[in-house]
Structure 1
Amino acid sequence: MRIRRVVIVGGGTAGWMSAALLTKVLGTGLSITLIESDEIGTVGVGEATIPPIQVFNQAIGMNEADFVKATGGTFKLGIEFENWGGLGDRYMHAFGTIGRPLGLTPFHNFWLRARQAGRADAGSLWNYSFNYQAASRDRYARLDRIPNSPLEGIVEAYHFDAGLYARFLRQGSEAGGVKRIEGMIMGVNRDGENGFIRSVTLKSGETVEGDLFIDCSGFRALLIGEALGVGYEDWTRWLPCDRAIAVPAENGPRLRPYTQSIAHKAGWQWRIPLQHRAGNGHVFSSNHMSEDEAAAILMGNLEGKPLADPRTIRFRTGRRATFWEKNCVSVGLSSGFLEPLESTSIHLIQTSIVRLVQMFPDLNFAAANIAEYNAQVGFEYERVRDFIILHYHLNRRTDSAFWTACREMAVPESLTHRLDLFRQTGRIFRENNELFSEVAWLQVMVGQGLMPESFTPLADKLSDDQLGRYLADLRQIIDANAGRLPGHREAVARLIASAV
């Protein structure tokens, strides 16, 4: 028996991304109802994304120019980290490739060989990143490959206003047949025999029935947590920050095509440039810093005038014990929370709803299907968790108790193994199609000072002269072509001028 009625509880980015994909992919014969209340606000700080957002936007038929114009969007080529390894240090997790592998040998092994040999021409790892060289010049263009070369071009994501993105998705979803109900849920009604959710009751007295319920109710987790009692696995011991203070501000003089992450005494600050403003926030540990001090640090490090009063968001890092329970699937903050250090919040919404589409149930709700979904989502959360822990753990700062504690804490075994393997051999392996690639791990580990003791013997297949020419050719191609790209501000203006 096919599912005919899907009820999405909560709007915002999670709710409307869910509605948009479901109606596009499974809309025929499926009734989709979204319930949200204007009385309940959204967290709304998810303004930076990673490249897979393009796949989602394309899947729902979104026009890029219309989307960028409607959301105040800009392009994002990576995330710059300042003060994370040590005070004054700066590096970028740039999207895309670094260098070019030769056969079975990843590029960074050739760079390590040159560096360990003391070659002055080895230079910085980021000399071989086209995305970094473009970003550092505030340049951008849609470019799949560098002309007249075998090298990959620009790999981009977006910065955008999350509230405007939800509004844009809502327009398309309602046009596609999604029914929106304004109202606050006062009760969840469950089947007396199997415990499944059968309906929700609104403040108005209206009852909305469904076969499948999607919980997009944010931190409250109205269905998965309150109604079904699914527990929460706390990861505060590894990720001690539990507050964020956010404030919009006028843009600074540059329109950077990258996100900034600036580490402070007990946390870090984000800067996200949009067309019409900049998103700013300070993520911090309340055990190491007061809200007043955190707010003062944030307000003292804005590049433009604030456009509103700062607001505090309280959170607890972690994940649900299960993400799919009975006939309810949690999406977004109801599933868990990982601070936005690597811009994964919207991505985790995306992959949750994509997996639901791929594993869409019938009325039997097969237990094996639900178990597979929970295993896949759980693995993704844990690997993203490890990547975020990496930034904190791999610091050399001695200026505060916070950073000392982060460096000295015991980390998950999965992360310990990865660090040991890279330290001893220079090897990085991507496991089970996890989100972050080998190049992503490489940049954070090298950027924060972890240099391998060795590299693969495969890198010795080039002579010294061949190695020098290989590295020089890569640097020359990347540098010359990055310098020819148009400015980021110009690229955004040109795109939105083509919008309908």
Structure 2
Amino acid sequence: MDHRIRRLVIVGGGTAGWMTAAAFAKILGTVNYDIVLVESEDIGTVGVGEATIPQIRTYNDLLGIDENTFVRETNGTFKLGIHFVDWKRPGESYIHPFGLYGVDMDGIPFIHFWHRLANMGGNGDWGRFNAETMAMRENKFTRIPKGEASGLPQINYAYQFDASLYAAFLRRYAEARGVTRREGRIVRVGQAPESGNLTALHLENGQSIAGDFFIDCSGFRGLLIEQTLKCGYEDWSEWLPCDRAAAVPSAKPDGPITPYTRSTSREAGWQWRIPLQHRTGNGYVFCSEFISEDEACEKLLTRLDGAPLKDPKVLRFTTGHRRKMWHKNVVAFGLASGFLEPLESTSIHLVQAGIAKLLALFPRTGIAQSVVDQYNRETIADYVNVKDFLIAHYKVTEREDTPFWRRCKHMSVPDSLTARLETFRATGQAAAQQWELFKEVSWFSVLAGQGLMPGDYHPVADVISDDDLRQRLGRLRSQVDQRVKGMMSHDDYIAKFCAAPKAA
């Protein structure tokens, strides 16, 4: 008897569902596999994941997507990093860029040499050594041709786009490669009596869809992973207390389209601003213990830089993750697997990472428990790493001007984060591991930006002379200046290569 896994069923569309369908259609194909996606237009999707990190370029490249076409069809813009406003204290800001500061020298990170220069009385603005930061300050952007050997800094970037348009773009891609979409609301899930594995989905319209393997992209409710398989949830609201997000699009304001996302701390959370070609995405992520939904919506509407295009939509969530993201023959992606607030634009990346891990471990026939355990272990580790990075934004602050910020500044944090903060405070190193999403440069950007400066630097930075140090860093700064000088304005770049058609 043939026990091969052939019938793959994806529950839920949106970004997570169609990212999964497109990737599976590309990698596994639809010759040996029957890939079906079930979604209901009556249920809808969350659709607020509009900002990304550079890893999404790997996903798009894997699918063979033309970048200009993709940006044009999603009303997208380019993103060089995140501008954090008022997080350290009101009136101050910093940038978390995607690229590197300078270049590593003598086997240690550049930032240790910068620290020595600052101690010698040099300019304390570390952003001058990062091309993405300087381009953000001037609203510039460019893509570096592959194979360029100019010796100038590279440009690392991601995208900001309309999530609903991205899902529609991927739907067209997936359906063109043989994925079948079924419309309907699921009313019952069939399970094998002995194993508990899922066998079929039964729709309200009377259809039944049988499957060998199921992927749950049903959003917060977790129709398969939680409502059916009862996998449980790890609650992280002790450290990440925000439990609501009010989202609203606004009209595109006058002025340049910024090549970055802005995050502004507010009295009970923070506000995002994501510029697209045709509008701006806005949201207020807040803790309902300190502000009501109505008040949060009112404050959000008064802080827009363009006229609101809709009424605010409030999303309710609990930060954390499913205790098992793969159980029996079900894997959960996106909001069905967990939720980490979009402070560092990681939502779409975690979907992408889950897809990559599942494809790498995908079973041909039976499902080995050791493989399931490995997937869960690695995926949960990804969530934990992001969790600690997000907590640091709230913990490392000088703000105590509202009850929310007093609570965050003085809260106890996980031991893993405590150890990292102590190491950084003592040595300037965040002890980031190779497999972690956020590397040393990201930890430095956020921790130093929010006021935690290292007390010391690596001794190797003392080996070169004062003059040699000044000359080396001067050359690096000149290379950054030269790179940024040769860049176009972000608006001009979009207009030349990937402008979306104007609405009629």
TM range (shorter): over 0.9
Note the 1:97-136 alignment, pairs <5 A.
Answer: 97-117=100-120, 119=121, 121-136=122-137
For 1:40-78, what per-residue CA distance to the aligned partner results, in whole angstroms no more than 9, with x for missing partners? 111111000000000000111111111111100000000
TM-score if structure 2 supplies the norm length? Answer: 0.97
**1:77, 1:131 within 8 Å by CA — same for their partners in 2?**
yes
CA distance in 2, matches of 1:146, 1:420: 40
CA distance in 2, matches of 1:167, 1:113: 51
Choose the corresponding residue for 1:363, options 357, 362, 365: 365
Match of 1:169 in 2: 170
Match of 1:246 in 2: 247
Choose the corresponding residue for 1:313, options 312, 315, 324: 315
CA distance in 1, matches of 2:149, 2:212: 55
**2:245, 2:314 within 8 Å by CA — same for their partners in 1?**
yes
**2:248, 2:310 within 8 Å by CA — same for their partners in 1?**
yes
TM-score if structure 1 supplies the norm length? Answer: 0.97
Match of 1:88 in 2: 91
Note the 1:195-210 alignment, pairs <5 A.
Answer: 195-210=196-211
Structure 1 vs Structure 2 CA RMSD: 1.4
CA distance in 2, matches of 1:459, 1:251: 47
Match for 2:368: what amino acid? A
Match for 1:165: what amino acid? Y
CA distance in 1, matches of 2:232, 2:145: 44
For 1:13-64, what per-residue CA distance to the aligned partner results, in whole angstroms no more than 9, with x for missing partners? 0000000000100013010000000001111110000000000001111111
Match for 2:272: what amino acid? W
Structure 1: runs of 5 or more not aligned: none
Choose the corresponding residue for 1:490, options 467, 492, 496: 492
State the shift of 1:431 in Å. Answer: 1.7
Change in 2 beyond 3 A, CA 1:7/1:145: closer
State the shift of 1:362 in Å. Answer: 2.8
SS in 2 for 1:249: strand
**2:152, 2:482 within 8 Å by CA — same for their partners in 1?**
no
Match for 1:412: what amino acid? P
Match of 1:52 in 2: 55
SS in 2 for 1:244: strand
State the shift of 1:483 in Å. Answer: 2.5
State the shift of 1:145 in Å. Answer: 8.6
Change in 2 beyond 3 A, CA 1:41/1:497: closer
For 1:215-260, what per-residue CA distance to the aligned partner results, in whole angstroms no more than 9, with x for missing partners? 0000010000000011001000000000010100012222000000
Percent of matched pairs sharing the same residue: 48
State the shift of 1:138 in Å. Answer: 0.4
Change in 2 beyond 3 A, CA 1:149/1:110: farther
Match for 2:263: what amino acid? S
Q: 2:67 aligned with 1:64, yes or no?
A: yes
SS in 2 for 1:225: coil
CA distance in 1, matches of 2:7, 2:74: 30
SS in 2 for 1:433: coil
State the shift of 1:437 in Å. Answer: 1.3
Aligned residues: 497
| Range with greater deviation from structure 2 (285-294 or 315-324) | 285-294
Q: 2:162 aligned with 1:150, yes or no?
A: no
For 1:285-327, what per-residue CA distance to the aligned partner results, in whole angstroms no more than 9, with x for missing partners? 0001111221122111111111111111111100000100000
Match of 1:227 in 2: 228
Change in 2 beyond 3 A, CA 1:123/1:472: farther
**2:433, 2:439 within 8 Å by CA — same for their partners in 1?**
no
CA distance in 2, matches of 1:206, 1:58: 36
**1:144, 1:152 within 8 Å by CA — same for their partners in 2?**
no
SS in 2 for 1:269: strand
CA distance in 2, matches of 1:145, 1:156: 14
Q: 2:215 aligned with 1:214, yes or no?
A: yes
State the shift of 1:480 in Å. Answer: 3.1
State the shift of 1:473 in Å. Answer: 1.6
Q: 2:338 aligned with 1:336, yes or no?
A: yes
Match of 1:10 in 2: 12
